[in-house]
Amino acid sequence: MFRTLVVGLGRAGAGLHLPVLDRLRQRTPAGTLFADAPMVAVDPAPQPAALPEGTVLLPTLERARAELDPASTVVHVCTPPKGRDTVIEQLARLGFVHVIVEKPLAVDIAQLGRVEELRRRHRLRLIVVAQWQVSTLTRRLEECMAGGEFGELRQIRVVQRKPRFSRSLATSGHPTAFDVEVPHALGVALRLAGPARLTDATWSDLAADGVVRPRLGTATLRLAHQRGPLTRIISDLTAPVRERRITCVFNDATAVGHYPVSGEDGYAQLAVTRSDRTAREVFPDDALPAFLRDAYRQFAEGGPFGIGLAAETVRLVDEAKRLCTLREQRAWDAAGSACNAC
């Protein structure tokens, strides 16, 4: 049985992990995964938020270490991704080994290398949050592929839309739009279609009321998979509506799925069109509780633990950022040359 320590009380920690864990603890039989003790949260400057009843709020990891036994504690790292490796190092030095990390695992290759080194040196049992991987909709799409009746998978198209002005203007934890929603979709594409190489990427700024946040508006990524399919992922953080849509194009059918857009309605939809007929399903798909429950079970059973898919996601996103940065630099250089010529 495990105690719970949530580090970081932003949207992920206070808005998702703590309330989901509170519900899981209430639904899970006593004496199994969760210890009968309060959850602990650490944030040196927490924002006003309603925490589950009984949650112990502490200002430092050292204080949490005094309250908890690292061997029987699962730590949820919900801090902004920019300084996540530093937090993981602090936890490792304090003896914590069971660690669940919010996506993305890292914001670039350098940070990924530091996390991987910490994982090896301290023998961390590390799991990266990827609830779309255990989503019922993702499993249904895998079944569409495994059955073979629709033919070969040819394309994957993902569209993620949501307005994110308030958080983007108020915080700087996510450096680009590639770091917000894209890792979820990229992980699913790699799971469905296998290893891939980047073929193109673009980004744009977020602007509102005269304020601009560079590179936090939209992100587009294109992949060519080794097995043949092509993937396009579009994430728009300036959209007026919310949508998480995935389209899988097969030789003989097209499957269009919609993931839940928030915790307010945990249902997914899937429509499969063949010839002139469309079959549509609506089904429960509350993926985050299922993912966290499975993670605790993995810790209890001793594994397996691997970050291969999360690491490959970081590498492809890092490559996409570098490509976009190179294009920006070339555009600036060309503009500078034009001005000098004038």
| Tens of pLDDT, residues 158-213 | 999 999 998 888 877 788 999 999 999 999 999 999 999 999 999 999 999 999 99
Same domain, 119 and 153: no
Residue 263 predicted with pLDDT over 90: no
Which has more confidence, 46 or 144? Answer: 144
Percent of the chain with pLDDT over 90: 81
DSSP 11-50: HHIIIIIHHHHHHHHHHSPTTSSB-SS--EEE-SSPPS--
Domain of 52? 3-128
State whether 197 and 117 are in the same domain.
no
Q: pLDDT band at residue 147, thresholds of 50, 70 and 90?
A: confident
Per-residue pLDDT of 270-294, as tens digits, reads 999 998 899 999 999 999 999 999 9
**Residue 60 phi, psi dihedral angles, 5° rounding:** -140, 160
Structure confidence at residue 342 (pLDDT): 66
Listed residues 109, 128, 147: the one ending a domain: 128
* 69 lies in some domain: yes
> What is the residue-averaged pLDDT of the chain?
93
Using the predicted structure, report yes or no on whether residue 48 has a pLDDT greater than 90.
no
Residue 87 resides in a domain: yes
Question: Considering the domain boundaries, does residue 163 fall inside one?
Answer: yes
Here the CATH number for the domain that contains residue 155 is 3.30.360.10
Domain contains 310: no
CB atoms within 10 A of CB 312: 15
Give the CATH number, domain containing residue 56.
Answer: 3.40.50.720
- Same structural domain, 144 and 264: yes
Q: Final residue of a domain: which of 103, 128, 153?
A: 128
Q: Are 203 and 223 within one domain?
A: yes
Q: Does the pLDDT of residue 82 top 90, yes or no?
A: no
Tokens of 281: 């399903």
Beta pairing class for 238-250 and 230-236: unpaired
Span 85-105, average pLDDT: 97
Residue 336 lies in a domain: no
- 121-141 burial, b if ≥16 CB within 10 A, otherwise e? ebebbbbbbbbbbbbbbbebb
